Chain A
Amino acid sequence: DTTVKQNPRYKLARVGKPVNLICSQTMNHDTMYWYQKKPNQAPKLLLFYYDKILNREADTFEKFQSSRPNNSFCSLYIGSAGLEYSAMYLCASSRLDWAYAEQFFGPGTRLTVL
């Protein structure tokens, strides 16, 4: 099974409220990623887990949290959603040698903040 799953597929949130997005993979991949994608823009890497080590991008460091309770699952947490967080959130995974490995993407979670 080479599928990456994301839940929920659609999320409506109020400004100032928390949001938690879930991703899972059963390929035993060591690295899992979260991207933010807005229309007509490039996917932007937010953070990634290599095994249990979390790496967050400098410009989004304070905006997003994540956890990886086991190899298969990874969450993306927004403590207080703002209008600018409305976007598609993509999860992906890759095997050990991530710098040279293709990524497998999930279908995305479309977050709308009102």
Chain B
Amino acid sequence: GEQVEQLPSSLIVQEGASVLINCSYTDSASVYFPWYKQEPGKRLQFIIDIRSNMERKQNQRLTLLFDKKTKHLSLHITATQPGDSAIYFCSASNNRIFFGDGTQLVVKP
């Protein structure tokens, strides 16, 4: 079945820095790639998504890039703030959804 891998598993940055979270998947049948974040003590929350017929999507400080050939995604967060501290989950979906193990981001003030 589908396997989703995220790297790095954790990141610590200073406020204002940019970060890049990488995600790879194995099943070429996956067509939809939503990302979620989970702030400490809170529920998983949708943040951005992309479909397999797109290469790039931007939502404010978030940019999601998708490479169908290499089965790779990357989430770029600019001008990070302490409030961005959370675990970020990549996922891949066809008729099932599979999540990565998450990337823990800590943004220090």
Contact = CB atoms under 8 A, between A and B. Distances in A.
B34 A103 contact: yes
A111 interface: no
Interface residues of A, number: 20
Contacts, number: 49
B11 to A, nearest CB: 15
B32 A42 contact: no
Contacts of B94: 99
A82 interface: no
B98 A100 contact: no
A42 B31 contact: no
B97 A45 contact: yes
Given A45-B97, A99-B93, A100-B31, 9 more contacts: A33-B97, A41-B101, A42-B102, A90-B43, A100-B51, A102-B34, A102-B49, A103-B34, A105-B36
